[in-house]
Amino acid sequence: MAKDRPEPELDRELPGLPPDLRWREWMRRIEAVLFASAAPVPRADLARVVGQGVSVDLLVEDLAADLEARAFEIARVAGGWMFRTRPAYAPAIRAAGNVSDQQQDLSEFDTAVLAAIAWYQPITRDGLKDIFGKEISRDLIGRLHACGLIGTGPRSPRRGAPYTFVTTEQFLVAFGLESLRDLPDLEQLEDAGLAVRP
């Protein structure tokens, strides 16, 4: 029903304001959008609340500078921006409680499987078995899927067309990555003995 309502008009250009106040208003609009969103907000969405041709990147930079003394920051993750608490305040948040449902309860092996999926996606359970030398349980795959960290990718072109697994936007958000290009370099990890090619 809400979709039937017309969108409210938004004066994007703000011609009645002097340039410095116009810039400040655009910064506040971006701040409001980021504050209201639980997911990263892409540049195109932020551009809808500011003047035509205005640099969203510069507005976000100025807003980030305004927030330097605050306990939260603007992070570039998953192709957009979002607010997150600065890492220095993680102990205070844990001490306050009520955040356990937000934490990922992953073992070291779970994290290794998740990393393998990220590097080699789309990858099948057999591909993961080749990497780890043992069968990866459906339970583990199910937990990673339930956390929203992985999803089902395209079917493998092999006989039986097994499902493949890929990481999700939630994976990028959980690990603070803008894109998969921000993953650690696999060759360096292999050289250090921390990763193995299938």
Phi and psi angles of residue 160, each rounded to the nearest 5 degrees, phi first: 85, -10
pLDDT band at 156 (very low <50, low <70, confident <90, very high): confident
CATH tag for 2-89 (out of 2.60.40.2240, 1.10.10.10, 3.40.47.10, 3.40.50.2300): 1.10.10.10
In angstroms, rounded to a whole number, what is the distance separating the alpha carbons of residues 108 and 131?
Answer: 15
**Average pLDDT for 147-173:** 89
Give, in words, the CATH class of 104-191.
Answer: mainly alpha
Report yes or no on whether pTM surpasses 0.75: no
**Average pLDDT over the chain, rounded to an integer:** 86
**Average pLDDT for 21-28:** 94
**Average pLDDT for 139-158:** 90
Which tens digits make up the pLDDT trace of 81-127?
999 888 898 888 878 876 555 456 788 889 889 989 999 999 999 99
Q: For strand 150-152 and strand 80-85, is the pairing parallel, antiparallel, or unpaired?
A: unpaired
pLDDT band at 173 (very low <50, low <70, confident <90, very high): confident
pLDDT band at 1 (very low <50, low <70, confident <90, very high): very low
Domain boundaries, the chain: 2-89, 104-191
Q: Residue 183 CA to chain centroid, in angstroms?
A: 13
Contacts of 184 (CB under 8 A, 6+ apart): none
Share of the chain above pLDDT 90, in %: 51
Specify which of 35-39, 44-48, 157-161 reaches the highest per-range mean pLDDT: 44-48
Contacts of 187 (CB under 8 A, 6+ apart): none
pLDDT band at 184 (very low <50, low <70, confident <90, very high): confident
